[in-house]
Each structure stands twice: as C-alpha cells, then as structure tokens.
Amino acid sequence: MAAAALQPVPASAPMSDEDAAGQAYFDRIIAEDSRIEPTDWMPEAYRKTLMRQISQHAHSEIIGMQPEANWITRAPSLKRKSILMAKVQDEAGHGLYLYSAAETLGTPRDVLNQQLLDGKAKYSSIFNYPARSWADMGAIGWLVDGAAIANQVPLCRASYGPYGRAMVRICKEESFHQRQGFEILLELSHGTPEQKQMAQDAVNRFYAPALMMFGPPDDDSPNSKQSMAWNIKRFSNDELRQRFVGMIAEQVKVLGLTLPDPELRFDEETGKWIHMELDWQEFKDVIAGRGPCNAQRLARRREAHENGAWVREAARAYAEKQNNKRKAGAA
C-alpha cells in the first residue's frame, strides 16, 4: 500500500504485533479514503505531521489577528469597524477550532502555546508583514484570506477527522472574510485618487507574500509527498498556487487595479499560469524570524499571555473554592 511504502519501519525496531495490526488498519482506512479518528492507531510520523500542521495553522490564526486588530480602532466608518471586529474575532475562533483539533492528538493547548511564545513553533510568514494602511485590510482579506481559502477548501477532506471538521467550519466562515476584503479594495479603487493609490500599494505589497503562502515549489517541498500519500494534503503547493493566481488575475480586473507581476500570463499550450519568480530567500528569512514584524508579533502574544496569568489563576482558584464548597455542602 502506498502509505505503508512511504513509512519504512527501521530494521532496528521491529514492529510489535499490535503495531503491525494498527498499521494495517490505518493503511486500509487511508486507502479507502476514509477518516482517522483521535483514538485510532496511527503512525507516529502521521501524528507528528498533523500536530505540526494543525498547530502551525492555529498559531497563524492567532498571530494573524494582530495586523488587522491594528486597524480596529482606526477603521474609517462604523460599518467597517463592525466588520473588521467580527472578522478578527472569527480568527480567534478559528484558532480555537484548530487548537481543539490539535489537542485531540494528545498535546494540550498550553504546551502548543508555549512553543509559539518560545519561538519554537512556526506560523504563516505572511503575518510578519506590517499592515501599514487601511487598504491592507482589503488586501489581506482578498489575497491572504483568498490564498488561505484555496489552501483550506481541500483540507476539509483531510484524512484526520477533527482537522477536516474544523476546516469545514472555518471555510464556511472565511468566505465572508475574502468578500469583505475585496469590497474594501473595490470601494477604494472607485474612490479618490489617494484611496486608489492606497489600494494599489497594498496589492503591490501583499501579492508576492500571498503567492508564497502556498509554500515552496513542489520540487523543493520535501514533506508534501508524504502528506499527499496520507490524504492530509490533496493538491501540491504549485497546483494550488496555479489555481489561486488564475482566480485573482481575473478578479483584479473587476477591482480596476493591477497585479505587480509583469510576467503574469496564461500559457495556452500548457494550460498553466506563468507568474514571476518568487523570492524564496525572503520567504525563508521571514520564517526564520528575520521578517519585519516577527519580534513585534511574538512580543504582543507574550504580553497578553503574561498579563492574563493572574486572571486565569483567579478563575481557577475560584472554581476550586466553589467545588470545595459544593463538596462540603454534600457531605
């Protein structure tokens, strides 16, 4: 079976009968394109891959709140303020859905959170770019959420049940995020010359980072093959990037803006979109912590966590007191 073939058992550690049976069962579920559930036997590498992917995804939602929260207090109309608040709040919710899925794999949220605060866990590098103008709220919604949706829709069918279910919920909610972003840009591009310029500038800055959200090219993405064999990933990075760039190339016309990509064209012969060379060195730098906002984003997360410690402690202490009272009352 394909999945088993990609999971060589080291000769030094022969599988126990139990593990062999588990592996066979797991392989059958994957081959049938059915779902693995939390209490099922699963290969350790599968568990680790999922844990890494889901927790990174959760961290991205939580860190991703910051560039947009940055504009809640300055949103230029009350309607936009409501929309933005609801959106950032949704992201907190999405983070929680995902942590909830990650926890079913056996690692508690506080451990995952600590990995984030210690700088040991990764999150989507796009959120290490600053949201400089109001138009960035548009570009983030249209391009960043757009790319996220393109990534996430296939994940609704991920082989790990809790992950797929979290993604279904998230995808339903995300479609509003992309639309509101698009409409912000639409409004700006039909507004004053300064507004249109603001919109174009935001698109210029977020275009390449958004394309990089799909991850490195297929020939430089060592983990992709295994993830696809396990039915976690359904399409390769380049396939998803293709699909996305094709969509935004059309949508940008409605906006009356341009994409900052002189090489962008549809190649009739191959049926593929050609886009500019992306700066993968920058991508790696930002992931490694050298982006414009990495330090700021983590500092804010740590600050919230530390400032909240006394509150969390108080609530637990209160719960314990109440429990004791109840027990004393019952005795």
| 173 token code pair | 């909610």
Provide the mask over 116-145, with x wherever binding to another protein is found by CB under 8 A and - wherever it is not: ------------------x-----------
- Residue 200 in 3-state DSSP? helix
> With respect to another protein, which residue has the nearer C-beta, 31 or 274?
31
The C-alpha atoms of residue 5 and residue 116 are separated, in whole angstroms, by: 33
> With respect to another protein, which residue has the nearer C-beta, 311 or 328?
311
Min CB(210)–another protein separation in Å: 21
Min CB(91)–another protein separation in Å: 9
Min CB(307)–another protein separation in Å: 7
Hunting for tokens 């550690």 — which residue is that?
Answer: 13
Q: Which of 139, 184, 232, 240 binds another protein (CB under 8 A)?
A: 184
Reported as type and span, the H/E element at residue 272 is strand 272-274
Q: Which of 28, 48, 74, 253 binds another protein (CB under 8 A)?
A: 74
Between the CA atoms of 67, 123, 211 and 239, what dihedral angle is there, to the nearest 10 degrees? Answer: -140
Min CB(154)–another protein separation in Å: 21
Please tell me the count of residues contacting another protein according to CB under 8 A.
66
Provide the mask over 243-282, with x wherever binding to another protein is found by CB under 8 A and - wherever it is not: ----------------------------------------
Q: Applying CB under 8 A, does 77 fall inside the site for another protein?
A: yes
Question: Radius of gyration (Cα) for the chain, nearest Å?
Answer: 22
| 304 token code pair | 């919230």
Min CB(95)–another protein separation in Å: 6
Q: Applying CB under 8 A, does 319 fall inside the site for another protein?
A: yes
- Within 8 A by CB and 6+ apart from 2, the residues are 31, 229
| Residue-by-residue DSSP string for 36-86 | B-TTS---HHHHHHHHHHHHHHHHHHHHHHHHHHHHHTT-SSHHHHHHHHH
Count of Cβ atoms closer than 10 Å to residue 232 Cβ: 25
| Residue-by-residue DSSP string for 79-106 | HHHHHHHHHHHHHHHHHHHHHHHHHTTT
Q: Which of 53, 60, 66, 251 binds another protein (CB under 8 A)?
A: 66
Query: Rule CB under 8 A: which residues touch another protein?
Result: 18, 37, 39-41, 62, 65-66, 69, 72-82, 85-86, 88-90, 92-93, 95-97, 100-101, 103, 108-110, 134, 165-166, 169, 173, 184, 187-188, 191-192, 194-195, 300, 303-304, 307-319, 321-322
